[in-house]
Structure 1
Amino acid sequence: MDIYASALSPALDIGTGCYLLLLTVLSIVGNLLVLVMAFKRSSRMKPPELLSVNLALTDLGAAVTMYPLAIASAWNHHWVGGDVACVYYGLAGFFFGVASIMNLTVLAIVRFVVSLNLQSPKEKIGWRKVKLLCVWTWLYALVWALFPILGWGRYGPEPFGLSCSLAWGQMKHEGFSFVISMFSFNLAMPAVIIVSCYFGIAIKLYVTYKKSMNHSNRIPNIVKLHRRLLVIAVLISMGFIGCWAPYSLVSMWSIFHDSSTIPPEVSLLPCMFAKSSTVYNPMIYYFFSQSFKSEVKQLPWLCLGANPCHVPNSVNDNSIYVVRADLKPKVATRPTLQEITELKTESL
């Protein structure tokens, strides 16, 4: 029996390949836009923004290094590359998946730390700390991805034959400790941390808003900004966890039951749904961040009309990445005699 032969119908193979091609295009274009926008405003970036850039890199990396191989296999009705390509694909998928979930976890923790004092003029998270956190997410993911290569766990083909991942059905005994550890440290624990951090931020924003009701409206504006950022962050986290949850459930079923009882068409759906996680983040940024949408529309290839595109530059319409805004109010000062003279001269 050829374990790399497609278990799907030829028509479904072609449809799967077209679906993956669409995901590849959307993911590459969307995440490249995020990176371009970050590069354009690099001189104004805050340290925590690097985590959002890092997240875009993980999604882009998955789309570029994995999806083309899966597309070719789907249209070939057979996995392309044999055992070596299968191990490579499974390692890449596990690597980028763990890097993404850990990046989301670190981002949630950073947002929570910053939200502890919204009025603090001092940056709580510096560039050095953020760079170390980004490097840590990649190294952490790499270590977990290498475990099956070193003998703890195993990579293998998916039941439908057009993709490779962790060989869930083969790890019922020899790799059971790996499966439990993997789900505990790379799904359950990050999910708990993310939910706890964003719940804590929501409570903090609510308390800050209540305390500011009888004071200046300067703080409520900041609360609105952080509330919008909170919504974006929660949607991103929910999107990733939601995309991978069905696949995780099917994988766990394969561990405790006979995986052959799951039809190939049924096992295909959670896998394809999980791959769509690389597409959602840029869409969330575009639809829920006014500044990101404006900056995208400012790009030369989108501004070919007579009227030039304009990007608002205000504190209340900050970028998708910002987790702290400058809270120092501008102090009104009297114009000097020289300034008055210059104004009068200009008016003449």
Structure 2
Amino acid sequence: MATTPGYRLDDLAPADGGAPTAETHDDAFASKLSREADIVIGVYLILIGTGSVLGNGRVLWLSYRNWAKLRPVELFVVSLAVTDVGISLFGYPFAATSSLLGRWSFGSAGCTWYGFTGFFFGTASIANMALMSIMRFMIVYKKYPGPYPTRPQTYVIIAIAWLYGLFWACAPLAGWSRYHVEPFGLSCTVDWGGFSRGAAGMSFILCLLVFCVALPVTAVVASFAGIFVIYRHAKKGVVTHLQNNPTMSKKRKKMERALTLTALAVCGGFLLAWLPYAVVGLWSAVAGVDAVPLALASAAPLFAKSSSLWNPIIYLGTNNRFRLNMCACLAKELRTQTAVHAQQLEMPARLSPRGPLALNLPAAADPQALNPPSTAGPQPDAALQTSHIL
């Protein structure tokens, strides 16, 4: 795809002093990084996207095979895997291609699409994590073995998380702020710089920080802090209605701790990846886009994108049942392939209606054994015995 020569944005600043935009100057879509950095970023995004699709695809496949046995927390992990696969398939290819070409190469419409998909899947992810954390707290707070929500209830909660992400992702499309190219020119996101350009941009950024960052993060941190306090007090005794079955109590307690560890690791990994990006976004909104160092403005979103690769690794490391199912599936595939190969080796050779008898016999077969000589009476000529086959 043809590109236009790059110029400094300072040289193309509008006469009224406003910030240059992608709509007024195509150069806003040009990379502000070195050519070597563009290639490194492109390769990085390809590796992250491929690893995310393979890892999360494996999670989805194993979940499908064991769908009836999945617990509510694991259903949330499946939902998170869908968001990771979604952004890897519908977002990263655009950014990776643009990085390799040295500029955003899909125009304003592609910029809007990329910003929408990234914001939608990201907000849906953090909403899923917040609701998953609250659910874990409620289960632990009711003490073992507090009843799980039913499957329909869990589906409704997950659907709420997805609708929450869809609402905020559609807001810029409806005219409340917009999606805009990022400062380094290779991807797009919400217009953080709109905070200082008008009331609409300012209100959207403030609401984004409150409802898409502060509240979900507070819910996650508060839920797991409450779980930690409950676990510390739970060492003093066993739940009254399980006193008659202490073995089951220990088993359930171990399972609940493992599920909580999985939820904590998934939420912690996501927040660790995305909070630096939120801080950089707030910095650019308050101080201006040009106030953020270019290296930091480009590194923060790239680090946030790595979160799509973490979840399958975390889930594999903290969930014993997932590891066992994965090993069982791999072992079953290996046994199946071995059985098919052995069957092919043991399959007898097909007889040819035209070939001589000697060529139709198996290699290990003895012609004399197949036609043993009779001890009674004279033996007929061998040609007469096989003449009906010739």
CA distance in 1, matches of 2:331, 2:100: 33
CA contact (8 A) 2:72 2:148 kept: no
- Shift of the 115–8 alpha-carbon distance from structure 1 to 2, 3 Å rule, reads same
Query: 2:203 maps to what in 1?
Result: 177
1:306-321 to 2 correspondence within 5 Å? none
Q: Once the two structures are superposed, what CA deviation does each residue of 1:69-124 show, in whole Å capped at 9, x if it has no partner?
A: 11100001010211000011111111011000000011111112222334447x44
- What's the RMSD between the two structures over aligned residues? 2.3
Q: Give the alignment partner of residue 203 of structure 1, picking from 229, 232, 236.
A: 229
What's the counterpart of residue 288 of structure 1? 318
Helix, strand or coil at the partner of 2:236: helix
- C-alpha change, 1:10 and 1:305, in structure 2 (3 Å) is farther
Q: Distance in 1 between matches of 2:106 and 2:239?
A: 64
Contact 2:145 2:252 in 1 (8 A): no
Cα distance in 1 for partners of 2:67, 2:335 equals 27
Output the amino acid matched with 1:167: D
Aligned with 1:52 (options 74, 77, 93): 77
Give the secondary-structure state (helix, strand or coil) at the position aligned to 1:98. helix
1:232 matched to 2:262 = yes
Aligned in 2, Cα 1:203/1:217: closer, same or farther, shift over 3 Å?
farther
Stretches of structure 2 that go unaligned for 5 or more consecutive residues are 1-11, 13-26, 339-390
* Structure 2 partner of 1:329: none
User: Is the 1:35–1:53 Cα contact (8 Å) retained in structure 2?
Assistant: yes
SS of 2:186's equivalent? Answer: coil
* Contact 1:297-1:303 within 8 A present in 2 as well: no
Local SS of the residue matching 1:156: strand
* Paired residues of 1:48 and 1:130 also in contact (CA < 8 A): no
Q: Contact conserved, 1:209 with 1:220, CA < 8 A, in 2?
A: no
The Cα offsets for residues 238-267 of structure 1, whole Å up to 9 and x where unpaired, read as: 111111111111111111113213332221
Q: 1:113 to 1:213 in 2, by over 3 A?
A: closer
Distance in 1 (CA, whole Å) between partners of 2:337 and 2:320 is 19
Deviation at 1:57, TM superposition (A): 0.6
Distance verdict in 2 for CA 1:227–1:46, change over 3 Å: closer
SS state at 1:125 partner = coil
Once the 2 structures are TM-superposed, how far is the Cα of residue 32 of structure 1 from its aligned partner?
Answer: 0.7
TM (normalized to structure 2)?
A: 0.74
Segments of structure 1 that go 5 or more residues without pairing to the other structure are 309-348
Q: Alignment length, in residue pairs? A: 307
Using CA pairs under 8 Å that are at least 6 residues apart, name the structure with larger relative contact order, 1 or 2. 1
C-alpha separation between the residues in 1 aligned to 2:140 and 2:318? 20
In the TM superposition, structure 1's runs of 4+ consecutive aligned residues that sit over 6 Å from their partners are: 305-308
Q: CA deviation at 1:169?
A: 1.4
2:188 paired with 1:164: yes
Once residues 52 and 85 of structure 2 are traced to their aligned partners in structure 1, the CA distance between those partners, rounded to angstroms, is: 6
- Where does residue 323 of structure 1 map in the other structure? none
3-state secondary structure, aligned to 1:165: strand
SS of the aligned residue for 1:79 comes to coil
2:278 corresponds, among 216, 223, 248, to 248
C-alpha displacement of 1:61: 0.6
State the distance in 1 between where 2:65 and 2:273 align. 30
**Structure 1 residue 48 displacement after superposition:** 4.7
Amino acid at match of 2:226: G
**CA contact 1:169–1:254 (8 Å) conserved in 2:** yes
- Between the aligned partners of 2:150 and 2:267, the Cα distance in structure 1 is 23
Q: Within 5 Å, give how 1:70-109 maps onto structure 2.
A: 70-109=95-134
The residue correspondences of 1:252-267 to structure 2 (distance < 5 A) are 252-267=282-297
Larger radius of gyration: 2
Q: With the length of structure 1 as denominator, give the TM-score of the two structures.
A: 0.82
